[in-house]
Amino acid sequence: MTTNAQRLQGKTAVITGGSTGIGFATAEVFLAHGAKVIITGQNPERLNSAVEKLKAKFKDGEIHGVKADVQSIEQLTALADATKKHFNGRLDILFVNSGVLGAFAPFEDITEEVFDYTLRVNFKGAFFTVQKLAPLLGEGSSVIFDLSTIQGKPMPFAPVYAASKAAGRSLVRSLAVHFAPKGIRVNSISPGRVPTDGLAPEKINVDEAVIKGFLETATASLPLKRPGRPEEIANATLFLASDDSSYVTGADLVADGGMSA
């Protein structure tokens, strides 16, 4: 096993949705372990702010921000071009992290707009992110999907979100087999309850009190009796990104505080 300081030394990484939450925390961990990193985001101001924070913390690190919306094939193609330019045509780690909850509502209240948006970001966006960046991946590269423990459990108030993550898990298995002959590994990380900006009331059209009540109830049922932190998911993702997981592909690493147990 490599030492902590060398786990990603000299490797290149792209993290979609890296300006906040788990994506940003993962960028911090990857940079701390020697990787060169590109983060993406839709909001230019938030993206630039995230890049500046990372540059201030990792003065000797290499960090780039690329504005990209995973709903846009054109922007994903541009991301691939920018990655090729920044990293001289070689990508070692792709963290497919962009995602949305879409809506926190019962089945009867889900609209076609919410349905399409959720699948477009969480599944279609993930699919084409890998497709457009795959030509830059070589032997020993690692692709990691950010899924959710919800993909294997009932979720009455987020049925489309749960279905989109289950589709992602199926895609991970298919891509693991597809890319195996090239020596490219494909795995997923499934976080449990990890409060991030994605649960902001304005993003899912739910009162803050409802979100707070949901998180408190969910946390009370966990063996560890607390929500996860973005950096804890980032540290688990580090294992899948590094050569320490060189014989792991098609797997789902669950980091949920014991919820699945």
Map out the domains of the chain with their CATH numbers: 4-254 (3.40.50.720)
Q: Does the pLDDT at position 215 exceed 70?
A: no
- Residue-wise pLDDT for 34-53, tens only, equals 999 999 999 999 999 999 99
The predicted structure's pLDDT at residue 181: 98
Q: Does the pLDDT at position 209 exceed 70?
A: no
Percent of the chain exceeding pLDDT 90 equals 75
Average pLDDT of the chain, as a whole number: 91
What's the start-to-end Cα distance of the chain, in Å? 28
Q: Does the pLDDT at position 205 exceed 60?
A: no
3-class DSSP state for residue 191?
A: strand
Asked whether 241 and 93 are in contact (CB, 8 A), the reply is yes
- Residue-wise pLDDT for 174-200, tens only, equals 999 999 999 999 999 999 888 776 555
Top-confidence residue, 182 or 259? 182
How many C-alpha atoms does 107 have within 13 Å on its Cβ side? 6
pLDDT tier at 155, thresholds 50, 70, 90: confident
Mean pLDDT across the stretch 156-177? 94
Q: Does the pLDDT at position 217 exceed 80?
A: no
Report which residue type is found at 254: V
Q: How far apart are CA 202 and CA 212, in angstroms?
A: 14
Report which secondary-structure segment, H or E, holds 216.
Answer: helix 208-220
Q: How far apart are CA 220 and CA 232, in angstroms?
A: 19
- Residue-wise pLDDT for 2-26, tens only, equals 444 689 999 999 999 999 999 999 9
- Residue-wise pLDDT for 97-111, tens only, equals 999 988 888 899 999
CB atoms within 10 A of CB 163: 18
Q: Does the pLDDT at position 1 exceed 50?
A: no
Model pTM score: 0.91
Tokens standing for residue 180? 């195996």
**Strand arrangement, sheet containing 252-255:** 63-67, 36-41, 12-15, 91-96, 137-146, 185-191, 252-255
Q: How far apart are CA 185 and CA 145, in angstroms?
A: 11
Asked whether 14 and 91 are in contact (CB, 8 A), the reply is yes
Q: Does the pLDDT at position 85 exceed 80?
A: yes
pLDDT tier at 259, thresholds 50, 70, 90: confident
- What is the sign of the dihedral through the CA atoms of 230, 204, 118 and 135? negative
> Per the residue annotation, which of 161, 163, 193, 194 is the catalytic one?
161
Q: Does the pLDDT at position 211 exceed 70?
A: no
The predicted structure's pLDDT at residue 119: 97
The predicted structure's pLDDT at residue 223: 78
Interstrand relation of 12-15 and 36-41 (parallel, antiparallel or unpaired): parallel
The predicted structure's pLDDT at residue 212: 67
Confirm whether 161 is a catalytic residue.
Answer: yes
